[in-house]
Amino acid sequence: MSIITVTLNPAIDQTVTLDRLTRGVVNRASSVRLDAGGKGFNVASCLADWGVRAVVTGLLGAENPEVFEALLHRKGLEDRFVRIAGATRTNIKLVDREETTDINLPGFTATPEALGRVEAEIAALATRSALTVVGGSLPPGTAADHYATVLAGLAATGTCAILDTSGPALAAALAGTVRPYAIKPNLAELTELTGKSCESLSDVAAAAVALCRTGIALVVVSMGAEGALFVTAGGILRALPPPVTGIGSTVGAGDAMVAGIVAALREGGDIERIARLGTAFAVGKLGLAGPNLPGREAVEALAARTGIESVATEEGAP
């Protein structure tokens, strides 16, 4: 059984590295690089490094597909992207010593015809897939509740869906009739989704438990350097990343975590293995530029060094 990833709004990530970013002045950068990106695409790229070849679909601008095609070819991924008129967007990632600032553009305008073709690809591929990852924003021209439609289509084929999106696209997807199997909001996305303050760990846990109780089997909340919470009906685990040195870029750490979750689910791992492998993929990616992982041994060593603790909530088990 293969894994599908769906990226309707991929991006070429232009990562600009500078010592310190200051608003309103001329900033001098030390380097720039371009990587094929977009959430589902990044998940597939990390899975390939782990030895799992996903099938990738979604939309790709016909004017500048080369950077995506080169990476798909290099990693042996099956390319089922639907080409659409125009260019795939370029997103700007400003990386300084302390933090990363993302400037994400809207992207090409999706046509009903192109979206219909992606839907047909997903339906055809889902018959040979156990798990589909749907990731990233919706391009202009797409209905806000488009992911609710995608989730309903996937449920009809019996494939399990992991949804990693944000803002109105996430809210509208979760307002639909079919729940995804899993979601992975970061703290900002969880706060926006729930409208609740998520300042303390117990706030975060309570918000994640509430989502789990709506019928989402696995709610993962990623919290950057603070690790992540993995919430299921069986309880809550917090995964603490091992000490990290030499962060190349935090861009796509969340996508690498989703890839690790998929890899652990695929091998039939329990929730602790899911939390360990998700964290190991994310931390492994931090040391590298682009959506790439270090070798298997290094990832397994990070998984072994990930701290796991169980978290209790006032409301009891999810």
Ligand X SMILES: O=P(O)(O)OC[C@@]1(O)O[C@H](CO)[C@@H](O)[C@@H]1O
Ligand Y SMILES: Nc1ncnc2c1ncn2[C@@H]1O[C@H](COP(=O)(O)OP(=O)(O)OP(=O)(O)O)[C@@H](O)[C@H]1O
The site for ligand Y (CB under 6 A) is made up of: 186, 222-225, 227-228, 241, 244, 247, 250-255, 257, 279, 282-283, 286
Residue 186 as a binder of ligand X (CB under 6 A): the answer is: no
The conformation of residue 111, written as its DSSP 8-state character, comes to: P
Task: For the beta carbon of residue 146, count every other beta carbon within 10 angstroms.
Answer: 22
DSSP 52: -
Residue whose entry in the numeric block shows the structure tokens 């601008």: 61
Closer by beta carbon to ligand Y, 173 or else 282: 282
By a kind-dependent CB cut-off of 5 to 8 A, residue 84 interacts, out of ligand X, ligand Y, none, with none
Nearer to ligand X, 134 or 155 (CB): 134
Whichever of 126 and 306 has its CB closer to ligand Y, that residue is 306
Reduced to 3 states (helix: H, G, I; strand: E, B; else coil), residue 227 is coil
For residue 178, what is the DSSP state? S
Stretch that binds ligand X, among 33-41, 113-121, 170-178, 180-188 (CB under 6 A): 33-41
Alpha-carbon distances, residue 233 vs 1, 65, 187, 191, 236 (angstroms):
26, 42, 21, 21, 8
Smallest separation (angstroms) from ligand X to the CB of 202:
27
Q: What is the DSSP letter of 279?
A: H
Should residue 37 be labelled a site residue for ligand X when binding is judged by CB under 6 A? yes
User: How many chain residues bind ligand X (CB under 6 A)?
Assistant: 17
**Interface residue with ligand X, options 3, 5, 38, 122 (CB under 6 A):** 38
Rg of the chain, C-alpha, whole Å: 18
Task: Just list the catalytic residues.
Answer: 255
Q: Out of ligand Y, ligand X, none, which partner does residue 37 contact, by CB within 5 to 8 A per kind?
A: ligand X
- What CA–CA distance (Å, rounded) separates 67 from 35? 7
Q: How far is the CB of 297 from ligand Y (least distance, A)?
A: 19
Q: Is 102 in the site for ligand X (CB under 6 A)?
A: yes
Residue 13 lies near ligand X (rule: CB under 6 A): yes
Could you say which residues in the range 128-147 bind ligand X, by CB under 6 A? Answer: 136-137
Give the strand order in the sheet containing 218-222. Answer: 78-84, 55-61, 2-7, 129-135, 160-164, 182-183, 218-222, 228-232, 235-240, 307-311
Would you tell me which residues interact with ligand X (CB under 6 A)? 9, 11, 13, 37-39, 42, 91, 102, 104, 136-137, 166, 251-252, 254-255
